[in-house]
Chains A and B, each alone.
Chain A
Amino acid sequence: MNYKAVIIGGSAGSFQVITRILHSLPPTFPLPVLLSLHRLKHIRSGFVEALSIKAGIPIVEPFDKEQIKPGKAYLAPANYHMYIELGNKIALSTEESVNHSRPSIDLSFITAAQVYREKLVGIILSGANRDGAYGLKKIKDLGGTVIVQDPAECQVKTMTEASLKLTKVDHIYSTQEIIKFLQNIKTTAL
């Protein structure tokens, strides 16, 4: 399968995993990486900087309607939902929280699934609530490839276990295996 984008959702206990994944990506990584991570809603600065320290690719908190480009990571900004819009753009929203979360992983995943369909990889990492489980199912239903971090390795298992309960996933991977998968990923030109 040739892919167009990778989307990753995580919450409590996912920061180190994300850091390791981003560190492992080469500057030539051929896909955009969309990051929908739960974060403190009133703290606008610091997070993207912390993630950037060791990352192999640039990370931005996109502006609304920013064009999505390969080899770049897009972190959902604090207190906004991050949607993927037709035309390969980011669309932000201040609509009410979903699963007590804004950004909501479900909303990012659902909208990414509708745009990229079978050409999307969805990954759920450690987390303390069920946000993301439904979105991961949408990705799978629309033909995408879905991966869940091995709950045995997760600091908090709620999110991965909820995802596994809802969806027959393609892979249950350790962080190291997720990294290996991404490093070997095949692409289609955007």
Chain B
Amino acid sequence: MIIRYEIGIVETRNVVKAILDTYGYDFRDYALTSFKRRLEQVIMNNGFKDADGLINRLTSNKDYFESFLHEITPETTEMFRDPSLWRTVRDEILPDLMKGGPTKPKLWVASFDSGEELYSLAIILKEAGFLSEVQLYASVISDKAIEKIKSGRIDAKELEVNDANYLRFIGKKNFSDYYYNENGQIVLDTSLVQGVNFVKLNTLYDNAPGGIKLILFRNQMIYYNQILQDKVLYQLSNSVVPGGYLSIGVKETLENTNSSNKFTVFNDLDKIYKKKTT
């Protein structure tokens, strides 16, 4: 059984306020339940006494704040999650993206991914022969995330599910062709992400890159309330070019957001949208 350390709503808001006041990072419109839970996790993992202990450390130590940004962001946990989505990207979207002129299309993993989405995308690009024909962007909230992604190190316990997902995706090779085992540590082929442009963003995405043809933003809006969903979707809808694609989580929706009128549904099952041309 797990005995969980718990904090209240007031303490959660105190942490959010301390971060905003000290560093200008705005977590006010993160979904309360999951954010509170993640704070509890951070407090337990670091052995803080309580929320005030966390606040003291956060406000007095900028290096710790960097680690905090990394810790507070949920891990993606699976490669090729929802294999049918990845087949659609491979079979329908990539051919469309590669039709354009001489400039390399820009593809952006916009969620604060721990690497799984990025490596999955890189693998399908490589298998299609397009890895060096595109410009790949990846959002990070902390430098630690860049380190983690570039190290290629993933948890060995994720191997089984990654392998099963890759099989359902029906790739060209075996998933085991993309990693090696270094004394029990699984290391992905880091050459896959060599050309990636890492974009450091704050929680509001107000310095997002533009001219993007495909945005993967899966399962991040679930950590927002509806106010932040609207704000970030507004930024993303400006980033994606007309006719470009936005992929969100299969249980997320643009309905009820103020960006819904800018997109048409391209694939309802896997929640892929296409930006309108007018």
Contact = CB atoms under 8 A, between A and B. Distances in A.
Q: How large is the interface on A (under 10, 10 to 19, 20 to 34, 35 or more residues)?
A: 20 to 34
A95 B253 contact: no
A44 B278 CA distance: 34
Interface of B: 1-4, 9, 31-34, 37-38, 74-78, 81-83, 161, 164-165, 168, 219, 221-223, 225-226, 229, 249-253, 255-256
Question: Sorted from nearest, which 8 A-B pairs have the closest CB atoms?
Answer: A83-B33, A64-B222, A94-B219, A92-B222, A95-B74, A63-B253, A93-B34, A91-B31
Given A42-B165, A61-B251, A106-B2, A94 B33 contact: no
B253 A85 contact: no
Interface of B, helix, strand, loop or mixed by DSSP: loop
Contact of A86 (B3, B32, B38, B221): B32
B2 A94 contact: no
Interface string A77-101: 1011001111000011111111100
Given A42-B164, A80-B251, A95 B1 contact: no
A133 B1 CA distance: 8
Nearest to B255: A63
Nearest to A115: B33
B33 A91 contact: yes
Contacts of A41: 161
Contact of A64 (B77, B78, B251): B251
Nearest to B270: A44
Interface of A: 41-42, 44, 61-65, 77, 79-80, 83-86, 91-99, 106-107, 110-111, 114, 130, 133-134, 162, 166
A79 B34 contact: no
B32 to A, nearest CB: 6
B222 A134 contact: no
Contacts of B4: 110, 134
Nearest to A77: B251
Given A63-B253, A64-B222, A94-B222, A134 B1 contact: yes
Contacts of A84: 33
Given A79-B81, A93-B223, A94-B219, 10 more contacts: A62-B251, A64-B249, A65-B225, A77-B250, A80-B222, A92-B222, A95-B37, A96-B77, A133-B1, A134-B2
